[in-house]
Amino acid sequence: MRKTAHSQPVKLLLWGYAFYIFIPWILLCLPISWKENFVNPLDNLFIATSAVSTTGLVTVNTPDAYNFFGQLVIMCAFQVGGLGYMTLGSFVLLSAKNSLPYLYRRVGSSVFALPEGFNLKLFLQHTVIFTFIIEIIGAIALYFCFLRANVENPVWAAIFHSVSAFCTAGFSIFPNSLEDFRGDFWVNLIVSILSILGAIGFLVISDIWQSLSGRKQGTTFTTKVILYMTTWFIVIGFLLLLFFDSSFKSLTLGERVLGAWFQSMTALTTVGFNTHPIGTLSAFGALLTIIIMIVGASPSGTGGGLKSTTIFVALAVMWSSLRKRKSIAFLGRRIPEQRLITAFAGLVFYVLAFLISSSILLLLQTQSFEDVLFEAASALGTVGLSRGITSDLNTWGKLVVIVLMFIGRVGALSFGIALFTNESTETLRAVEEDVAI
């Protein structure tokens, strides 16, 4: 076991998240978590997985099914899930010893996929500190918004939604997510800022902080790529929804702009809140949202999806191929071969997982092709948006979505490595031969 843990930190990551899901599942199964009616164990497992994976898909309505204790369990689950496996434990160890054991360093490097030369110790410290600072500021700002809107228990609502937004969890204690705030500029702005900060990742926040504080000169290429890709995908998605999705055309101009922006933002950051009924999106809007959800957030952040850097590498390969370049370069930078292999492997495994799971769900469920594909993309991308079929999933459908959310949280490629890689490193001995492409 010791050898396995050291040689395969990804397997430890997989079992670690499974343990994180087990604890809130047991707590949610206790009657002290329910409001009035019994919540069956499968639904509790679904909610626990959705919380730890920071997805936000629910088979039961959170404010109707769970009391304050149950909601607190859910919030703690997506707080831990958003921070990432072993982050809190590593932070405590660093506070006490000022150093990390070898195993923690191995798992940390596997979890966060930091670029070469990035200080893991400093990164972990910044992650925890920035998380709580941002969430506290967000909660204070949301409190005044909810107080003005006469929300019941605005303090708890502000705390819950601030943590949920920054962790890109998408859980809400309002029956219809944030639809009642579709025209509220400040709620839209605050939730958007929290979600984007969580989605761009702790790596970017730490990098920018070190640059601004004078500890280093300039930001890394990874940070520039993440900010570039995040900005363009949100803006393009916003403009396409604003001008071409028919479901927004009946709204006032202000609500159209806020609704289209929020919908694009929530899909890319994988936060999963919605201010616009997802079931009313046109076929074009639904397809566009699926594409944005698949792209997803950024590495070392709280969001899911393929990750913006993976898409960037794929675009770099395509661009270099079109220009007939021997090396892969984009935006004036040459990308290391190992990163290309990792990105391509992650892309292929993610697409396969999406196609296989969608096919299985189509066999199990009676809902439309469009709705099922949307649900699969949302679960695998840990987004949490749904066209209203989550609560109607049958037992096997729920189990498939649970597995998808788990894969999305661990990471499609990490999940594949944990399943298919042996303890020993395999040395490839094969004759090189060309193949037609």
> Quick check: is 236 in a domain?
yes
pLDDT in tens, the chain (437 residues): 344 443 466 677 788 888 899 999 999 999 999 998 899 999 999 999 999 999 999 999 999 999 999 999 999 999 988 887 555 544 444 444 555 555 555 555 555 555 555 566 666 777 788 889 999 999 999 999 999 999 999 999 999 999 999 999 999 999 999 999 999 999 999 999 999 999 987 778 878 887 887 777 778 888 888 999 999 999 999 999 999 999 998 899 999 999 999 999 999 999 999 999 999 999 999 999 999 999 988 887 788 888 888 888 888 888 888 877 777 776 677 888 778 888 888 888 999 999 999 999 999 999 999 999 999 999 999 999 999 999 999 999 999 999 999 998 887 777 766 666 655 455 556 666 656 65
> Quick check: is 138 in a domain?
yes
SS3 call for 149: coil
> Quick check: is 428 in a domain?
no
Output the pTM of the full model.
Answer: 0.87
> Quick check: is 429 in a domain?
no
Query: Which residue in this structure is represented by tokens 């959310």?
Result: 405
CA distances (Å), origin 271, targets 53, 78, 244, 297: 11, 12, 23, 9
Contact between residue 308 and residue 233 where contact means Cβ atoms under 8 Å apart: yes
Of 291, 299, 238, which Cα lies nearest the Cα of 264? 238
Instruction: Give the domain range for residue 133.
Output: 2-420
Phi-psi region of 67 (alpha: psi -120 to 50; beta: other; left: phi over 0): beta
Distance CA 81, CA 73 (A): 12
The residues, any chain, with a CB within 8 Å of residue 226's CB and separated by 6 or more, are 200, 201, 203, 204, 298, 299, 308, 309
Residues in the chain: 437
> Quick check: is 148 in a domain?
yes
Q: Based on the structure, what is the number of domains in the chain?
A: 1
Provide the pairing of β-strand 333-334 with 329-330.
antiparallel
For 228-282, the pLDDT digits (tens) are 999 999 999 999 999 999 999 889 999 999 999 999 999 999 999 999 999 999 9
Residue 240 half-sphere exposure toward CB, CA atoms < 13 A:
20
> Quick check: is 116 in a domain?
yes
For 299-331, the pLDDT digits (tens) are 877 888 888 888 888 888 888 888 777 777 766
